[in-house]
Amino acid sequence: MRQWAGPGPVPRWLLHADMDAFYAAVEARDEPGLRGRPVVVGGTGNRSVVASANYEARGYGVRSAMPMAQARRLCPQAAFVPPRFDVYHRYSESFHAIALSFTPLVEGIGLDEVFLDVSGCVALFGSPAEIAVTIRRRVTEELGLSCSIGAGPSKLVAKLASKAAKPRASTRGPVPGRGTLVVPEAEVHSFLWPLAVEALWGVGQASAERLHKLGVNTVGELAALPVASVVACLGQAAGQMLHSLAWGRDPRQVEPGRAAKSIGHEETYSTDIVGRQDLDARLVVMADKVAGHVREQGLVARTVVLKVRYGDFKTLTRSHTFATPQATAPSFWTAARALLDGLELRDGVRLLGVSASGLLESGASSGQQLQLPLGPAPAVAGARAGPAGSAVAGARPLAATSGRTAIVPGPGEGAAWAKASQAVDAVRARFGAGALRPGTSLVEPERAKGRRPPEPP
Ligand SMILES: [Mg+2]
């Protein structure tokens, strides 16, 4: 029965589709020699971490976010592959497009996960189970990759169901998963309650330890406690929320606007970078990359985020929101450099990252990639929108975030930059990403490799 003819509201059905070992699977798909072998994707520097490991590698204990050096010790026979984010972005777009062919209510979580609200399309495409099976088949046929899908009445249940449907790693090799798991409303408690409390959103190590002290190890044991006890243990907000989740009550909606909603690039250096010039050069390269990805997807960004991690792992992020959304490298690096001005850099930087968020369609249909404005301009004191019909207004001066005079392209220059950026994209599309690089990035090889500049004698 496909049509909901019963009394009351239409039942809510959410799917969570999650690519299996995404980056590693893409690498094995594109390089047949890697199939069936342990594959670990990550940087090559001695401080790099694992970005993705396939189930063969996980059988040796390799996990995401583990230092690459440790992964090499655990599984020396693995293929160690540097990440190709531009390729993953392309596969991710196709994955999102498949989801969007069922419903516009698709929320992307990172590159490789989506939530879909299929409540309204059951009559059209079949039961949630049928939709899940179709999505999996299309991902296999069209992308040559696999994903696992959970279905349930809430995000919590759908997400945990997709996890339960995934392949597993074992010392004897990967164990295939069931691929899809559907948990109807009536089975939510019997599905959730045997799980470890750590499965719930928001249960980190600290709250898990507190709950264990209360004798709570499973979701069911948490549900059985009076809510007042949970609040006494974890505080008002967290206590209330986790108790609700333990009963399967999760009202969160699928939020389509949030899909893929930041594009970024970050680098961890084998030796902390101390020179400001060196940091600036890297920022320019990164900002250029990020801006290229933003334009590639036909987007513009409201906000640029700078991330800095120091040698002691203290991590800071700073953001700047443009008066009008931008997609050019100079607007991004100008903002990022001004943000860097506000940070203490004396002891060197271990990790540097630039990302673009608040992404909007650039209105590329006109053929002019950076046609503006796009929706309401963010409120910035004294900001003026770009002249109507002009391609792009320059970034706002960064007086609020910068002690130095920022070099900011003015409105006229903004238009010129937009044109130049399109030309850059055209050249890269033809000759590859390395064909053009910003002039500032032509630093001497020593710096480019992440080493300290030589000490003066
Ligand atoms: Mg995944």
Q: What is the pLDDT of residues 66-75, one digit of tens each?
A: 899 999 999 9
Last residue of a domain, one of 31, 58, 86: 86
Both 301 and 216 in one domain: the answer is no
CA 162 to ligand 1 center in whole angstroms: 10
Both 276 and 228 in one domain: the answer is no
CATH code at 317?
3.30.1490.100
Both 275 and 357 in one domain: the answer is yes
Q: Which candidate in 27, 56, 107, 113 is catalytic?
A: 113
Both 231 and 338 in one domain: the answer is no
CA 146 to ligand 1 center in whole angstroms: 10
Highest mean pLDDT among 47-51, 82-86, 99-103, 407-411: 99-103
Residue 134 pLDDT level (bands cut at 50, 70, 90) = very high
Place of tokens 């986790």: 242
The pTM score is 0.61
The average pLDDT across 84-95 equals 91
CA 110 to ligand 1 center in whole angstroms: 9
User: Over the range 79-117, which residues count as b (16 or more CB within 10 Å of their CB) and which as e?
Assistant: bbbebebeebeebbeebbebbbebbebbbbbebbbbbbb
* pLDDT score recorded for residue 260: 55
Both 393 and 282 in one domain: the answer is yes
Q: Is residue 290 part of a domain?
A: yes
CA 264 to ligand 1 center in whole angstroms: 18
Q: Is residue 104 part of a domain?
A: no
Task: Report whether 285 contacts 189 (CB < 8 A).
Answer: no
Give the three-class secondary structure for 302. Answer: strand
Looking at 107-111, 202-206, 249-253, 257-261, which range is the least confident one? 257-261
Both 241 and 337 in one domain: the answer is no
* pLDDT score recorded for residue 417: 60
Both 209 and 266 in one domain: the answer is no
CA 13 to ligand 1 center in whole angstroms: 21
List, in sequence order, every residue forming a beta bridge with 114; answer none if it has no partner.
17, 108
Both 289 and 335 in one domain: the answer is yes
How many distinct structural domains can be found in the chain?
Answer: 3
The average pLDDT across 395-406 equals 28
400 has a pLDDT exceeding 60 = no
Last residue of a domain, one of 43, 70, 86: 86
CA 106 to ligand 1 center in whole angstroms: 16
pLDDT in tens, 296-322: 777 888 889 999 988 887 888 888 888
Distance (Å, whole) CA 397 – CA 81: 41
CA 283 to ligand 1 center in whole angstroms: 29
CA 348 to ligand 1 center in whole angstroms: 34
| Measured distance between the N- and C-terminal CA atoms of the chain, rounded to whole angstroms | 81
Q: Is residue 91 part of a domain?
A: no
CA 39 to ligand 1 center in whole angstroms: 15
CATH code at 45?
3.40.1170.60
Both 433 and 342 in one domain: the answer is yes
Task: Report whether 120 contacts 256 (CB < 8 A).
Answer: no
Q: Is residue 272 part of a domain?
A: yes
Q: Phi-psi region for residue 308, left (φ > 0), alpha (ψ -120 to 50) or beta?
A: beta
377 has a pLDDT exceeding 50 = no
Residue 191 pLDDT level (bands cut at 50, 70, 90) = very high
Q: Is residue 269 part of a domain?
A: yes
Looking at 128-137, 173-182, 416-425, 431-440, which range is the least confident one? 431-440
Residue 432 pLDDT level (bands cut at 50, 70, 90) = low
Place of tokens 């503006």: 372
Both 322 and 372 in one domain: the answer is yes
Q: Is residue 106 part of a domain?
A: no
The whole domain housing 314 covers: 261-448
* pLDDT score recorded for residue 48: 81
Residue 30 pLDDT level (bands cut at 50, 70, 90) = very high
Q: Is residue 2 part of a domain?
A: no
Q: Is residue 216 part of a domain?
A: yes
CATH code at 233?
1.10.150.20
Last residue of a domain, one of 43, 61, 86: 86
Both 278 and 354 in one domain: the answer is yes
More confident residue, 128 or 365: 128
* pLDDT score recorded for residue 434: 52
Look up 56 and say whether it is catalytic: no
Both 411 and 327 in one domain: the answer is yes
Looking at 8-12, 14-18, 132-136, 163-167, which range is the least confident one? 8-12
pLDDT in tens, 248-289: 999 999 988 655 567 888 888 878 898 888 888 888 888 888
- The residue among 59, 64, 61 whose CA lies nearest residue 22 is 64
